[in-house]
Amino acid sequence: MNFPLKQIPERTLAPRSYGLTMVMDKGMGIVDVKNFLSVAAPYVDIVKLGFGTAYVTNNLKEKLAIYKENNIPVYFGGTLFEAFLVRNQLDDYIAAMKEYGVDLVEVSDGSISIDHAEKCRHIERLVKEGFKVLSEVGSKDASHVMPPYKWIEQMSAELSAGSTYVIAEAREAGNIGIYRGTGEVREGLVQEILTKIPAEQILWEAPQKAQQLYFLELLGCNVNLGNIAPAEIIPLEAMRIGLRGDTFDLYLDKK
């Protein structure tokens, strides 16, 4: 760190298995990738190329190479997985990921309806194919509200099937899944999930500051957070350790 400040909570160090920041890259330019890594690389654990943006991004290989040089794992958004799956092209997707040297994959059903057992079989297959799997729970459809026991059931089954992390869905705007339409956290749901699923294996999508704050207060500075905008990595890191107004008092020794 740049200054000798006392009473700063201890963050896990890269490469982290807990305390992750997953960044949402929804089509950044090549220079911009180098740019945000110049100041924030130590705090970037995983990058998601949001939804289907990888399909239309020019010079994709060059961009992926920069992440690779920085040892930052990248995956394509779950919407792309679903787009291949719904077209009966899962084999093509696997081939494409291998061609691009992407070895992390998101398995989701945010825009499609599939049987949960089938979803787990996809997870198992992808693990067998050598991928590290992140699987996402929670629909992108606002009208489809799942009761907590279903979240727990699905998360458990997906971890058993081989997912390294389960992602709690929030959509890019942060207003669905574990959040209400207003972006407010469904606190009862979150707390119930935590009675059964280890926090270390959940990646909470939390694009809004108030959402990040909620999880920091609940689970501490090393909570796994995702869908962080590139410009918000440094602000989030400052907030994680109590150097933003919102968390200023969180770790202070009050005597």
Can you tell me the distance from the alpha carbon of 184 to that of 215, in angstroms, rounded to the nearest whole number? 12
Under the binding rule (CB under 8 A), the answer on residue 93 touching a copy of itself is yes
CB atoms within 10 A of CB 9: 14
Under the binding rule (CB under 8 A), the answer on residue 58 touching a copy of itself is yes
Cβ proximity to a copy of itself, 159 vs 178, nearer residue = 178
Helices (H), the chain: 30-40, 53-56, 60-69, 78-86, 90-100, 116-128, 148-161, 187-196, 209-219, 233-240
Instruction: Reduce the DSSP state of residue 174 to 3 states and report it.
Output: coil
For 22, 215, 246, the CA distances from 52, given in Å and listed in that order, are 17, 28, 34
Out of 9, 14, 18, 60, which residue is the one contacting a copy of itself (CB under 8 A)?
60
Q: Which stretch binds a copy of itself (CB under 8 A): 148-156, 187-195, 216-224, 236-244?
A: 236-244
Q: Which stretch binds a copy of itself (CB under 8 A): 47-55, 121-129, 154-162, 195-203?
A: 47-55
Q: Which stretch binds a copy of itself (CB under 8 A): 48-56, 151-159, 199-207, 215-223?
A: 48-56
Can you tell me the distance from the alpha carbon of 206 to that of 221, in angstroms, rounded to the nearest whole number? 14
Q: Which stretch binds a copy of itself (CB under 8 A): 92-100, 130-138, 149-157, 200-208?
A: 92-100
**Taking CB under 8 A as the rule, which mask of x and - marks residues 111-140 in contact with a copy of itself?**
xx---------------------------x
Closest CA to 39 of 221, 227, 229, 233: 233
Question: 158 to 217, contacts with a copy of itself by CB under 8 A?
Answer: 171
